[in-house]
Amino acid sequence: MTDSIVTTVPDVGDGVDVDAVVVGGGIGGLGTALALARSGRAVRVLEQAAEFGEVGAGLQMAPNATRVLRDWDLLCEVVEHGVRPRRLVMRDALDGSELTHLDLADAERRYGAPYVVIHRSDLHAILVRACRDAGVDLVTGATVTGVENGPDSATAVGDHRRDTGHIVIAADGLRSGLRRRLSSDEPVSSAYVAYRGAVPLADLPDTGGLALEDVTVHVGPGCHLVQYPLRRGEMLNTVAVFRSPKALAGEEDWGTPDELDTAFAATCEPVRAGLPHLWRDRWWRMYDRRPIGTWVDGRLALTGDAAHPMLQYLAQGACQALEDAAGLVEQADKHDTGSGTDWDPALRDYAAARAVRTARVQRTARDWGDLWHCEGLFRATRNALLRDRAADDYRYVDWLYGHGA
């Protein structure tokens, strides 16, 4: 076991090590820790890996998330490491025609914050540094196997350590072990799989056909392809998603490269040209879970993907985790008695407010996946409706991007 202790966090009294123990050092866990630490609370993060780090490629941070980052004084650094794209563009994957777009400069004026795309590892590193600067106790090599509730505290229990806080926050992801305290549900397979790739533009032989100032999604029958720039425009991020016939047939080995090639065989040339930019030695099967009735068990509360894992079609997984962090601190501050936080009503109100919001995002993400991947008459109808959309029509995203404005 390796402990990476950034600072010596004071004992807060009555046998409690810290105000909050956060289980999981991903973006959601670090965001929660940072928000709590910035509000003056002592926080410890327990990460089971030997070091803090993230795998993957690009993230889209919509205005509802960049407002939170701005409140944490991180937005300038995020923008510096990322890209502020010009437009969100949707195209048909079969014929390549534009269906609709969102002007992101206009959206920034409307929502009061920018749309930013950033490499996942860059955002994660920014949050690690911010947590360190805020005095969060960052511990690695710490596997948590359970939580013991007390009347005014909770203890995260592992094979080699016990960490007690006034609260324990489970930020342990899609396959959260701590979620089992509240629900016996399991992740739900969508039968879709994602291939990703992030490559330096300097390594590409030809960038002439790429829209390097936009986030572009080509939507097609049972598949879609997303491309956008990363790292100050120096990299190209590509994501290809498709429905796996092997998954639908119940086979264990599904989402394989041969299925990738078959799924995109009928798409237009610009889409097929994106496939060589993908990593073909790894892929991500797409799961979510259905919303559950409560996120709180005593002094244990869920956050991020442990509470509301969602499909990627709204690009809101990380955004909603950051919203969770801000929402938790908002309720904690509302229930501050002057001598400490009354955590029982704070956790109750946090869960009540956030569960309604995130359930809508989860359900809408599923619906958008159906919209993107339809075929035949439904595809023709979708395309006609999207082409008729006015550029300044925000009715379908006001509820999402304008939240908390």
The set of catalytic residues is: 228
With b for 16 or more beta-carbon neighbours within 10 A and e for fewer, the 310-322 pattern comes to bbbbbbbbbbbbb
CB-neighbour burial class of residue 179 (10 A; exposed 0-12, middle 13-18, buried 19+): buried
Residue with tokens 């075929």: 375
Both tokens of 305, joined, read 């993907």
SS3 of residue 402 by DSSP: coil
| C-alpha distances out from residue 187 to 178, 284, 310, 386, Å | 14, 14, 10, 32
CA 359 to chain centre: 14
Q: How many CB atoms lie within 10 A of CB 367?
A: 12
Residue with tokens 């995020």: 78
Sign, CA dihedral 270-273-277-283, equals positive
Kindly give, in sequence order, each residue whose CB lies less than 8 Å from that of residue 340, ignoring residues fewer than 6 positions away. 166
